[in-house]
Amino acid sequence: MRIEDFLEKQEKRELQLVSYLIHSGGEADYAELEEHLDITKASLESTLDSIAYSLRPLSENIALDYDGRAVRLWMDELFSMQELQHFYLKQSVKVQLLDYLFRNHEFSLTQLAPQLALSESSLSRKIKELNRYLKEFELKIWNGRVQGEELQIRYFYYLFYRFVQGKEALKEREAGISLQIVQTMENYLQVSFEPENQARVFLWLQIAQHRMHTKKTVSIRLKENMTPYMEDKLYQKIRSMLWRFSSRYSVEPDEEDAQMLFVFLLSSGVLPEPFFHDYRLTRNRNSPAASLDTYLVETIIIQYGYRKLPYMLERRMYHTLSQIHAALYFFKGDLEVHDRLFLLEQEQKIAEESVRSFAETLREITVEKLKLPNETNNGLMEWSLLGYFSVLVMVTMEMRQVLRVGIDLKHLPMYRETTISLLGLLIEKVNGVEAEECQPDKPYDLIVTDRREAEPLETGGKVYVLSELFSPFDQKNIERILQSLKK
C-alpha cells in the first residue's frame, strides 16, 4: 500500500507530479509529465492549476513555475516531500475515518457520516476503497469495526500513526503508562534505546495500551507463529517484565500482548546492534528467522567466494537480516512511504549488475524456507528485495578489492597537474579504484601513461598507454582492464 492511497485521484496525481519533478532534478517538460502521468496536455494544465491552488498556504515553502512548455519546482531548503504528503493527508477523509475507528473501536454510518460531512452512500464508498488497500494487511472494515488478526491491526496502526497521521496525534491518557513501560523495559533488559527508536517503542506501546480495551480480538496466526519462540530468553524477559509492571499499575496485559511486543522489538530494528548480538548468541538457532539468517549469511559467503567475513560486518549483516526475516515471518503488508523502485534504481547505479539478481535469489530462498505464499500484492515482500540489495551492497563495498592506479604523464608539463586530477576523477568512477599521480617506489595495479617507455610493474601489474587524453576509447579500455583485475 502506498501512502498516496489515502488520497483521492486528483490529490494522488498532484503528489506524483511533484515527486517526478524531484526525481528529475526539479524540472521537466510537458511531454515528460504527460507520459509519466498518462494524461493529456489539457489535463496536465488543469492539474498544475489545481496544485497551484492547493499549495497557496505553503507558498513560502514550495512553488511551481510553468509556462506551457516546462515545469520548474522550487522548495525551501528546510521543506521536504514528507511535509507535503502530510499537508495533503491531513485533509483526507480516509485518514479521518481510520483515526476515528482507532479511537472509538467501532462506528455506525448514521453516526459517523455527518461528522465527516459525507452522505452515508459516500462514506460506504470510502470504506469500500479502503478495504481494497487494507486487503494487503489482511484487514477489512466490516460491521463498523476493523477486523483481522490483532497483531496486524496494531502493526497497521503503528505504520499509520508513524507515517500518515503523525505520532503526535496520540497524546492521550495512555501516554504516561507507555512512557513508564519504556523506562521499565530499558532497566529490565539493560538496553538503552536511541531517541528515535525510543519514540518508536513508545508509539507501539501507546497503540497496544489503547487496543487492550478492545473486545473479541483474534490472534490465531500469532499463536501458531510464536510456537518456536515460547522458550526464547528475550521473550521470557519481556513477558516477565510486563507481568511485574502490571502488578504495580492498572495495566492488564495477557500472553498475546507480550508476544506482540516481542515481535515488534524483533522486527522493527529498534534493538541496538550490540544488544541484538548478545541475544543472537543465546536464541534458539532452529527458530524460523534465526535459521534463515544463518543460511543466507553462509549463502552470501559462498556466492562471493569469501573464506570468512570481518567480525563486525557479520554482526551488521545478522542485525539487518533478522529484521527482514522476522517482519516477513510475522507480518503481512507494508506502507510504502518512499518510492521503492526509484530507490532500487539508485542503488543499482553504485552496485554490480549481478547484485540485483542475487538479491532476488535470496528473496526466493526466503519464500521457500519460511513457507510464505507467493503473493503479488504484498508490499512487505517487495520491500524485502531492497533490504537484501542493501545487505549485498554493504558486503561488497566492505569486502571490495581496492585497486591502485598511478597516472604518469610527462608530455604536458604546463597542464600536468590539472590533467592528472581530471583523469583521476574519470578512472575513480569504477567502484573500488583509487587513482593518483604515480609515485616512485609505490606499488600500483595499473599505470596509465602517455608514453610507451613506462616500464612494467614489478608487482605483475599492467601499463596502459593513452591514445588520446580523455578519449571515450581509452576510458572504456581502462574500465575493462580494471574490471578484469578485480576478478
Asked if residue 430 and residue 333 are part of one domain, the reply reads: no
- Residue 80's pLDDT is 87
DSSP E strands: which ranges in 143-233?
145-147
Residue 452 lies in a domain: yes
State the residue range of the domain holding 465: 403-486
Residue 251 lies in a domain: no
- Residue 280's pLDDT is 93
Instruction: Measure the CA–CA gap between 383 and 335, rounded to whole angstroms.
Output: 10
Asked if residue 418 and residue 480 are part of one domain, the reply reads: yes
Asked if residue 473 and residue 374 are part of one domain, the reply reads: no
- Residue 306's pLDDT is 77
- Which of the 8 DSSP states describes residue 173? T
Q: Which of 163, 180, 175, 204 is nearest to 6 (CA)?
A: 163
Q: How many domains does the chain fold into? A: 3
Asked if residue 389 and residue 306 are part of one domain, the reply reads: yes
Asked if residue 422 and residue 380 are part of one domain, the reply reads: no
Last residue of a domain, one of 366, 399, 432: 399
Contact partners, residue 35, CB within 8 Å, separation at least 6? none
Where is 437: in which H helix or E strand? strand 433-437
Asked if residue 382 and residue 291 are part of one domain, the reply reads: yes
Residue 299 lies in a domain: yes
What CATH number should be reported for the domain holding residue 44? Answer: 1.10.10.10
- Residue 351's pLDDT is 65
> Which parts of the chain register pLDDT below 70?
166-176, 247-253, 347-352, 376, 401, 412-415, 453-461, 486-487
- Residue 456's pLDDT is 55
What are the pLDDT digits (tens) for 284-319?
Answer: 888 999 999 999 999 998 888 777 788 888 999 999
Asked if residue 445 and residue 377 are part of one domain, the reply reads: no
Asked if residue 435 and residue 368 are part of one domain, the reply reads: no
368, 3, 205, 258: CA torsion to nearest 10: -20
- Residue 250's pLDDT is 58
- Residue 368's pLDDT is 93
Residue 203 lies in a domain: no
What pTM value is reported for the model? 0.80
- Residue 238's pLDDT is 92
Asked if residue 380 and residue 292 are part of one domain, the reply reads: yes
Task: Determine contact, residues 49/118, Cβ cutoff 8 Å.
Answer: no
- Residue 323's pLDDT is 94
For 105, the grid coordinates are 473501536
Asked if residue 478 and residue 427 are part of one domain, the reply reads: yes
Asked if residue 436 and residue 392 are part of one domain, the reply reads: no
Instruction: Measure the CA–CA gap between 359 and 365, rounded to whole angstroms.
Output: 10
Residue 429 lies in a domain: yes
Asked if residue 370 and residue 468 are part of one domain, the reply reads: no
